[in-house]
Amino acid sequence: MTSLSNEKVQLLLDQPRGRGMVVSCYTDMRVVAGFEPHWLQPFKTEASVLRESLEDDHQARQELERDIEAIQRALEAPEARQARGMAVFSAAERGLFLAFPSDIPFANRLVVDDEPYVVPLLEGYVQQQGYLAVLTDTHRGRIYAAGIGGLRLLDEFDEEVPRKNRSAGERWGKQQATIARHREDCILHYHKELAARVKQRWDEYPYNGIVLLGADDPLSAFRALLSERLQARVVDQAPHAWTVEQSDIEVEVRSVIERAAVARQREALDEFAGRIKEKCAVAAGPREVIEALRNGQVSELILEPDSGAIASRCLGCHSLFAEERLACPYCDTACSRCNLWQHLLAMALGHGVRVQFVPTPSDLSQHGGIGALLLRDEPQWAPASVDHSGREVQA
pLDDT tens per residue across span 276-319: 999 999 999 999 999 999 999 999 999 999 999 999 999 899 89
Q: What are phi and psi of 253, to 5 degrees?
A: -65, -40
Q: In a 10 Å sphere around its CB, with 0-12 CB exposed, 13-18 middle and 19+ buried, how is residue 173 labelled? A: exposed
What pLDDT does residue 7 have? 67
- How far is the C-alpha of 42 from the C-alpha of 63, rounded, in Å? 20
Quick one: pLDDT at residue 263?
87
What distances in angstroms separate CA 228 from CA 44, 191, 210, 285, one per listed residue? 53, 16, 13, 32
Distance CA 19, CA 289 (A): 33
Report whether 67 contacts 110 (CB < 8 A): no
* Residues with Cβ within 8 Å of residue 325, at least 6 apart in sequence: 312, 335, 390
Angle, CA 261 vertex, CA 365 and CA 277 arms, to 5°: 40
Q: How far apart are CA 26 and CA 48, in angstroms?
A: 16
User: Most distant CA pair in the chain: distance in Å?
Assistant: 95
Identify the pLDDT of residue 377: 64
Other C-beta atoms lying within 10 Å of the C-beta of residue 59:
10
The predicted pLDDT at position 380 comes to 45
**Helix or strand run (H / E) with residue 341:** helix 340-350
What is the topology classification, in CATH, of domain 6-127?
3.30.960
Strands 131-136 vs 209-214: parallel, antiparallel or unpaired? parallel
* CATH architecture assigned to 280-394: 2-Layer Sandwich (3.30)
Measure the CA–CA gap between 75 and 39, rounded to whole angstroms.
9
Coil, strand, or helix at residue 195?
helix
CB 332 within 8 A of CB 278: no
Phi, psi (5° rounding) for residue 30?
-70, 165
- My answer on whether omega of the bond before 120 falls inside 30° of 0, hence cis, is no
Q: Where are the domains of the chain?
A: 6-127, 129-262, 280-394
At residue 173, the pLDDT reads: 62
Write out the chain's pLDDT in tens, 395 residues.
444 556 677 778 777 776 788 999 999 998 876 677 889 899 999 999 999 988 888 888 999 999 999 999 999 998 888 888 999 999 988 888 999 888 888 999 999 998 899 999 888 877 766 789 999 988 899 999 887 767 888 999 888 776 765 554 455 566 677 777 877 888 899 999 999 999 999 998 778 889 999 988 889 999 999 999 999 999 888 888 888 787 878 888 888 878 888 888 999 999 999 999 999 999 999 999 999 999 999 999 999 999 999 999 998 998 999 999 999 999 999 999 999 999 999 889 888 888 999 999 999 999 999 999 999 765 444 444 444 344 444 43
Backbone angles phi, psi at 344, to 5 degrees: -65, -45
For 25-63, write each residue's pLDDT tens digit.
Answer: 999 998 876 677 889 899 999 999 999 988 888 888 999
Buried b (16+ CB within 10 A) or exposed e, 125-137: bbbbbbbbbbbbb
Assign domain 129-262 to a CATH class: alpha beta
- Contacts made by residues 257-264, CB under 8 angstroms, sequence distance 24+: 257/130, 257/131, 257/146, 257/147, 257/148, 257/209, 257/211, 258/148, 260/131, 260/208, 260/209, 260/211, 260/235, 260/236, 261/130, 261/148, 261/208, 263/235, 264/208, 264/209, 264/235, 264/356
Per-residue DSSP letter, 205? S
Q: How far is CA 59 from CA 21, 49, 51, 92, 318, in A?
A: 11, 17, 12, 12, 31
CB atoms within 10 A of CB 336: 16
Q: Yes or no: say if 358 and 370 are a contact pair by the CB < 8 Å rule.
A: no
